[in-house]
Chains A and B, each alone.
Chain A
Amino acid sequence: MKGERAYLRRFSVLLLIALAGCATKSPSLLDAKGPAERTASSIWWPMVWVATAVTVFVVVMGAYGVVRGRRIREEDIRRDVPWGDRFILIAGLGVSGAILIGFFVFSLARAATLARAQPGLEITVIGHDWWWEIRYPNGAVTANEIHIPAGQRVNISLTSVDVIHSLWVPQLGPKIDLIPGRTTHAWLKADQPGEYRGQCAEYCGLQHAHMAFFVIADPPNDFVTWMANTANPATPPSSALAMQGQNVFLSNTCIGCHAIKGTPANATLGPDLTHMATRTTLGAGTIPLNANTLAAWIRNPGQFKPGVTMPPTTLTSQELNALVTYLLSLGFPAR
């Protein structure tokens, strides 16, 4: 029986994926990769089956009525239907009520499980138009990539500096809003190391569509190293070109918004760039990060993300080249 259910479930997931074409890369909430999402969506299949049963019942009974109607004469219709009120009350109030209350209790229990406070690494996520700032207890600051230790619970406090955003990683957990003036709380845990895509789910203006992020679950030891490295100041420029790039960065408008720890740049309006070369995308998941895209982005970010706060620049190609070289050197020091 249990095996049968599991089989059915697997079959339905496969069916859904097959229906979705090449949807294997879709961040599906039915493909849960952590306990929070498993708990939250555990009610999904019971509800889908009941919903399907109800729909099928309505279709069959309605179709029966239409077919039966073909066979009877209008004179045979009886005005009083002795079972009518009983049927409506038993089906509509009794059976439906019992199912609904059952689902309510089921989901209440799941909600209680989710709400239970437990210790874990405490991190802070701050929403910005249109990117994510992530702060760790050791002072590490990064953007748009939430590193967590795989297999461990991470407690997140969330707020926003501008409008309301919502953090959503379909495979890892329920949504939670980031509301200016308030602090909300959620937790995440990924069973296995991996990369899980998330996206802002609350409409937040022009570039709501381009406010993605990634939860990157590292093996716990790697995570400890990562967090320590991230808290360190930036790697100093190691070549003349990179040195020139740093000068370009520090003598232009870049420092008005961005911080690079270990240099005079310490503004917090835009993403912290101290270790930006360790990240994989630009513009909160809008384009992949490499030398070409970075140069194009710095020249005119609006071509990828119209309305983005970062202004276009008028650097010469030589300056741009130096700046890109510098920024891409901002990784972790080799061990």
Chain B
Amino acid sequence: MTTLADRPSERLEQLWAEEPGLGTWLSTVDHKRLAKKYLYTAITFLILGGIEASVMRLQLAHSNLKLLDPETYNQLFTMHGITMIFLFAVPVFSGFGVYMIPLMIGSREMAFPRLNAFTYWGFVAAGIFMYSSFLIGKAPDGGWFNYPPLTSQSFSPGPNIDFYALGLIFLGLASTGAAINFITTILKMRAPGMTLNRMPIFVWGELAMQVSILFAQPALTLATVMLMLQRHWHWHFFDPGAGGDALLWQHLFWIFGHPLVYIVLLPGLGIVATILPTFARRPMVGYTWVVLAEMATAFIGFGVWVHHMFATGLPSLALSFVSLTSFLVAIPSGIQVFAYLATLVTGKPKLTTPMLYVLGFILIFVIGGVSGVMTASVPLDQTVTDSYFVVAHFHYIMGGVALFPTLAALYYWGPKMFGRLLDERWGKISFWLTFIGFNLAFFPMHILGVIGMPRRTYTYASHLGWDSWNLTETIGTFIMGVGILITIVNLVRSTRRGEPAGNDPWDADTLEWATTSPPADYDFETIPEVRSLHPLWDQPELKDGAQPPELGGRPLAHGHRVLATSLLDAKPEAVVDMPHESLWPFFLTVGLMGFFYGALTRIGLVAALGGFVSLVSIVGWIWPRGQTQEM
């Protein structure tokens, strides 16, 4: 081992830097590099999902158009849903989390860096796996909800549904790994002094998100495994002809699927609660209530799944319970909105681009929230469900929260990640186009639903009076698309030519702004001691970079190490050696990819080979390396 330099910062550089090059592009375990990969990949999927949506909107711009045949349309709406939910919304928030959480909690890494690499590669591979179905024209076509019997072998004999089921099992491995990594990082690696009640709201949002994933994901994995067994190995879980029950799938799917709404919502609200106080120039009003509301949402979110099944003829008593929980789940959201408002009216809001996105989002979230309350009413839901009203509702919630906080965060955290500010003028143009386009695209869907247009139809008749609203939506979609593209171009340009950001361009309160922009490989020169919920506002020494040892900063520069602290009050407990770059997570992903293609084609040899490579990779991954153990 080379001798370490004397100055702590140089020493940390030696310890934490990764050799540049293709090798480390594949083997990196650095949370910042992996997070950027997450974000680039998620944005790529956003563009793909957006193209799918745009093509569908062209087909629906007028009645009886023949741009798409029904088979293609069904594949597109299915892949649009899968892409936007599984390959954009969830990973984009994981991406921001992987970048920001170690910084916001004053650590140097995620708890399990190689797992972090694996969960990224697994996400990409599962996405490629599902998208490869387009190459043979057999993309999933059962909707993202994939109800049997339509998706059973008898009605869907092709590989379409296999791509869906196997792809989601694969993706489930990655997201479960990520959930474990996030939860451990957040609970065990906060800087000394960052007790739970000094944890930033975004970190709470990510915690709620990842805990929900951990408990919701098994239901989806179970359901998809059962479906594969039924499709290819003569099981009959969902087959009414052999004693199975088609509704069983719906229960399992929505036990996963409804919490998923909050999985996407909570980190988005966390971003809102990060950006809003920064530009309102004051702390969030009602921090405790906002945090409790986020956790309550995650909890109640597990008790509302049957409201997706109000029209299935379940007993009224069951529907009444779920109706009540569905009404009540709006309360924590209301609490958060009122906390935002209280913060706005007691602060001095600055209308920067990220703030505009946040304010626009609050309005969109309220509209989506009140239409969501309407669907909690059993009789009203029974009349509007499966109509475009519901499409409007969940685009206002899911689409709104996946899009607006993400764009806000690119403008807000982009300078931290790239060291340069994004262009504000183009940012504002992008905001207005996105906001106006979004509302033009999705608001008329409420009306279309009310005047009778059902969802998931590839065309409609001309005499029903649905044409003009559909055309409005199509125009809105393209305006929104231009708005989003402007931000993407702005991002690419600004990372090269933008104004230098400095450590803390927004005068914000959370710890990530104590690092340089972009942060050094080791993030913090000294692990800070946190004494406030708003460390950068209350601890001036953090503004100047490293917190000196006499104020509590810990250099921790004698090894590739991080600090583990206690769960509730973040007291230092242990110094943990962290692993270096590793190719095993990548190899494991390649092995799993082989396994899943083997399962798809049902060529045993391919599956066995993939399984073997996976096994070898796991052994290589956990093989002891005799790292330094001395304190």
In contact, A207 and B70 (Cβ under 8 angstroms): yes
Is the CB of B316 closer than 8 A to any CB of chain A? yes
Is the CB of A274 closer than 8 A to any CB of chain B? no
Is the CB of B331 closer than 8 A to any CB of chain A? yes
Is the CB of A72 closer than 8 A to any CB of chain B? yes
Partner of A16, one of B316, B378, B447: B447
Per-residue A-contact encoding for B374-401, CB less than 8 Å = 1, 0 else: 1011111011111100000000000000
Is the CB of A135 closer than 8 A to any CB of chain B? no
Per-residue B-contact encoding for A145-185, CB less than 8 Å = 1, 0 else: 00000000000000000111010101001111101111011
Per-residue B-contact encoding for A196-210, CB less than 8 Å = 1, 0 else: 010111111111110
Is the CB of A2 closer than 8 A to any CB of chain B? no
Question: Which chain A residues lie closer than 8 Å to B387 at the CB level?
Answer: 168, 170, 201
In contact, A40 and B342 (Cβ under 8 angstroms): no
Question: Which chain B residues lie closer than 8 Å to A184 at the CB level?
Answer: 312-313
In contact, B380 and A72 (Cβ under 8 angstroms): no
Partner of B466, one of A26, A29, A77, A111: A26
Question: Which chain B residues lie closer than 8 Å to A170 at the CB level?
Answer: 383, 387, 451-452
In contact, A87 and B338 (Cβ under 8 angstroms): yes
Decide yes or no: A209 and B379 within 8 Å by CB, A77-B348, A87-B342, A181-B245 being known contacts. Answer: no
Per-residue B-contact encoding for A249-260, CB less than 8 Å = 1, 0 else: 000000000000
Is the CB of A312 closer than 8 A to any CB of chain B? no
Is the CB of B359 closer than 8 A to any CB of chain A? yes
Question: Which chain A residues lie closer than 8 Å to B482 at the CB level?
Answer: none
In contact, A96 and B347 (Cβ under 8 angstroms): no
Is the CB of B580 closer than 8 A to any CB of chain A? no
Per-residue B-contact encoding for A57-92, CB less than 8 Å = 1, 0 else: 011011011101110111001110100110111011
Decide yes or no: A74 and B281 within 8 Å by CB, A26-B451, A107-B323, A164-B149 being known contacts. Answer: yes
In contact, B464 and A27 (Cβ under 8 angstroms): yes
Is the CB of B457 closer than 8 A to any CB of chain A? yes
Is the CB of B47 closer than 8 A to any CB of chain A? no
Is the CB of B450 closer than 8 A to any CB of chain A? yes
Partner of A175, one of B311, B351, B359, B371: B311
In contact, A177 and B346 (Cβ under 8 angstroms): no
In contact, A176 and B313 (Cβ under 8 angstroms): yes
Decide yes or no: A37 and B383 within 8 Å by CB, A58-B363, A85-B289, A209-B458 being known contacts. Answer: yes
Per-residue B-contact encoding for A28-57, CB less than 8 Å = 1, 0 else: 111000000101110110011011001100
In contact, A43 and B377 (Cβ under 8 angstroms): yes
Interface window among A97-105, A218-226, A227-235, A317-325:
A97-105
Decide yes or no: A206 and B74 within 8 Å by CB, A103-B377, A107-B377, A181-B245 being known contacts. Answer: yes
In contact, B149 and A43 (Cβ under 8 angstroms): no
Give the distance to chain B from A155, nearest Cβ to Cβ, in Å. Answer: 13
* Interface residue ranges of B273-329 to A (CB < 8 Å): 280-283, 285-286, 288-289, 293, 311-313, 316, 319-320, 323-324, 327-328
Give the distance to chain B from A120, nearest Cβ to Cβ, in Å. Answer: 18
In contact, B359 and A62 (Cβ under 8 angstroms): yes
In contact, A307 and B70 (Cβ under 8 angstroms): yes
Is the CB of B337 closer than 8 A to any CB of chain A? yes
Question: Which chain B residues lie closer than 8 Å to A201 at the CB level?
Answer: 311, 385-387, 454-455
Question: Which chain B residues lie closer than 8 Å to A138 at the CB level?
Answer: none
Question: Which chain A residues lie closer than 8 Å to B451 at the CB level?
Answer: 16, 20, 23, 26-29, 170
Question: Which chain B residues lie closer than 8 Å to A202 at the CB level?
Answer: 147, 311, 386
Tell me, in angstroms, the Cα distance from A7 to B311 when the chains sit together. Answer: 32
Tell me, in angstroms, the Cα distance from A207 to B74 when the chains sit together. Answer: 10
Question: Which chain B residues lie closer than 8 Å to A87 at the CB level?
Answer: 338, 342
Tell me, in angstroms, the Cα distance from A93 to B467 when the chains sit together. Answer: 42
In contact, B327 and A29 (Cβ under 8 angstroms): no
Tell me, in angstroms, the Cα distance from A66 to B338 when the chains sit together. Answer: 15
Is the CB of A6 closer than 8 A to any CB of chain B? no
In contact, A179 and B312 (Cβ under 8 angstroms): yes
In contact, B338 and A88 (Cβ under 8 angstroms): yes
Is the CB of B7 closer than 8 A to any CB of chain A? no
Is the CB of A24 closer than 8 A to any CB of chain B? yes
Partner of A209, one of B285, B341, B342, B459: B459
Tell me, in angstroms, the Cα distance from A278 to B344 when the chains sit together. Answer: 65
Which residue of chain A is the closest to B316 with respect to CB atoms? A115
Give the distance to chain A from B330, nearest Cβ to Cβ, in Å. Answer: 6
Decide yes or no: A206 and B71 within 8 Å by CB, A28-B450, A62-B362 being known contacts. Answer: yes
Question: Which chain A residues lie closer than 8 Å to B351 at the CB level?
Answer: 66
Question: Which chain B residues lie closer than 8 Å to A296 at the CB level?
Answer: none
Tell me, in angstroms, the Cα distance from A110 to B380 when the chains sit together. Answer: 9
* Interface residue ranges of B259-285 to A (CB < 8 Å): 280-283, 285
Question: Which chain A residues lie closer than 8 Å to B460 at the CB level?
Answer: 209
In contact, A92 and B327 (Cβ under 8 angstroms): no
Per-residue B-contact encoding for A287-313, CB less than 8 Å = 1, 0 else: 000000000000000000011000000
Partner of A206, one of B70, B147, B285: B70
In contact, B285 and A84 (Cβ under 8 angstroms): yes
Question: Which chain A residues lie closer than 8 Å to B312 at the CB level?
Answer: 177, 179, 184
Question: Which chain A residues lie closer than 8 Å to B311 at the CB level?
Answer: 166, 174-177, 201-202
In contact, A81 and B346 (Cβ under 8 angstroms): yes
- Which of B246, B311, B374, B386 has the most CB atoms of chain A within a 10 A radius of its CB? B311
In contact, B382 and A104 (Cβ under 8 angstroms): no
Question: Which chain B residues lie closer than 8 Å to A5 at the CB level?
Answer: none
Question: Which chain B residues lie closer than 8 Å to A73 at the CB level?
Answer: 348
Question: Which chain A residues lie closer than 8 Å to B341 at the CB level?
Answer: 58, 61-62, 65
In contact, A96 and B331 (Cβ under 8 angstroms): yes
Tell me, in angstroms, the Cα distance from A179 to B238 when the chains sit together. Answer: 12
In contact, A203 and B331 (Cβ under 8 angstroms): no
Tell me, in angstroms, the Cα distance from A170 to B454 when the chains sit together. Answer: 10
In contact, B386 and A111 (Cβ under 8 angstroms): no
In contact, A179 and B247 (Cβ under 8 angstroms): yes
In contact, A111 and B383 (Cβ under 8 angstroms): no
Is the CB of B345 closer than 8 A to any CB of chain A? yes
In contact, B246 and A88 (Cβ under 8 angstroms): no
Give the distance to chain A from B223, nearest Cβ to Cβ, in Å. Answer: 16
In contact, B464 and A25 (Cβ under 8 angstroms): yes
* Interface residue ranges of B15-50 to A (CB < 8 Å): none
Is the CB of A8 closer than 8 A to any CB of chain B? no
Partner of B374, one of A39, A51, A206: A51
Give the distance to chain A from B553, nearest Cβ to Cβ, in Å. Answer: 26
Tell me, in angstroms, the Cα distance from A174 to B313 when the chains sit together. Answer: 11
In contact, B344 and A111 (Cβ under 8 angstroms): no
In contact, B379 and A88 (Cβ under 8 angstroms): no
Is the CB of A21 closer than 8 A to any CB of chain B? yes
Per-residue A-contact encoding for B124-149, CB less than 8 Å = 1, 0 else: 00000000000000000011000101
In contact, A74 and B344 (Cβ under 8 angstroms): no
In contact, A69 and B334 (Cβ under 8 angstroms): no
Question: Which chain B residues lie closer than 8 Å to A70 at the CB level?
Answer: 348
Is the CB of B463 closer than 8 A to any CB of chain A? yes
Question: Which chain A residues lie closer than 8 Å to B464 at the CB level?
Answer: 25-27, 197
Partner of A307, one of B71, B313, B338, B342: B71
Is the CB of A334 closer than 8 A to any CB of chain B? no
Is the CB of A19 closer than 8 A to any CB of chain B? yes
Is the CB of B335 closer than 8 A to any CB of chain A? yes
Is the CB of A267 closer than 8 A to any CB of chain B? no
Is the CB of B475 closer than 8 A to any CB of chain A? no
Give the distance to chain A from B454, nearest Cβ to Cβ, in Å. Answer: 5
Decide yes or no: A91 and B359 within 8 Å by CB, A39-B379, A47-B377 being known contacts. Answer: no
In contact, B147 and A29 (Cβ under 8 angstroms): no
Name the 10 nearest CB pairs between A and B, nearest first: A181-B240, A65-B344, A174-B382, A23-B465, A184-B313, A92-B335, A51-B370, A209-B457, A107-B377, A26-B451
13 contacts between A and B (CB under 8 A): A20-B451, A21-B465, A23-B465, A66-B349, A73-B348, A88-B286, A88-B335, A103-B327, A104-B323, A111-B319, A164-B150, A175-B386, A202-B147
Supplied contacts A69-B349, A79-B282, A100-B331, 20 more A-B pairs, CB within 8 Å: A20-B447, A21-B468, A26-B465, A41-B379, A58-B337, A61-B345, A68-B345, A69-B348, A87-B342, A88-B286, A89-B335, A92-B339, A93-B335, A104-B376, A108-B378, A164-B149, A176-B313, A180-B246, A208-B457, A209-B457
